[in-house]
Amino acid sequence: MKSPTAYRAFRVVALAVVVVSLLAPLLWMVAASFKTNVDIYDQSKALVFSPTLENYKKVLRQANYVQFIGNSLWVAFAATVLSLILGVPAAYSMSRFNMKKSALVVLMARVIPGVSLLVPWYYVFSNLRMVGGFTVLILSHMFVSLPLIVYIMMGFFDGLPLELEEAALVDGLTHIGAFRRVTLPLSAPGIATAGILSFIFSWNNFMFALVLSGADTKTLPVAIFDFVGYASIDWGGLMAAATVVTLPIMLIALFVQKYVVSGLTAGATKG
Confirm whether 170 is domain-assigned: yes
Confirm whether 86 is domain-assigned: yes
CATH (domain of 229): 1.10.3720.10
Confirm whether 245 is domain-assigned: yes
Residues 174, 98 contacting (CB under 8 angstroms): no
State the total domains in the chain. 1
Q: How far apart are CA 100 and CA 102, in angstroms?
A: 5
Q: How far apart are CA 22 and CA 42, in angstroms?
A: 24
CA proximity to 213, closest of 29, 110, 67, 86:
67
CA proximity to 106, closest of 71, 67, 139, 143:
143
pLDDT in single tens digits along all 271 residues of the chain: 456 788 888 888 999 999 888 888 888 888 888 998 888 888 888 788 888 888 888 887 766 778 888 899 999 999 999 999 999 998 888 888 877 777 777 777 777 777 788 888 888 888 888 888 899 999 989 888 888 888 888 888 888 888 888 888 888 888 888 888 888 888 888 888 888 888 988 888 888 888 888 888 888 888 887 777 777 788 888 888 888 888 877 777 777 766 666 655 555 444 4
Confirm whether 12 is domain-assigned: no
Confirm whether 34 is domain-assigned: no
Confirm whether 15 is domain-assigned: no
Confirm whether 10 is domain-assigned: no
Confirm whether 241 is domain-assigned: yes
Q: Which residues pair with 233 in a beta bridge?
A: 228
Question: Does pTM surpass 0.95?
Answer: no
Q: Which residues pair with 228 in a beta bridge?
A: 233
Cβ neighbors of 158 (< 8 A, separation 6 or more) are 95, 267, 271
Domain that holds residue 99: 53-264
Give the model confidence (pLDDT) of 5-60 as tens digits. 888 888 889 999 998 888 888 888 888 889 988 888 888 887 888 888 888 888 87
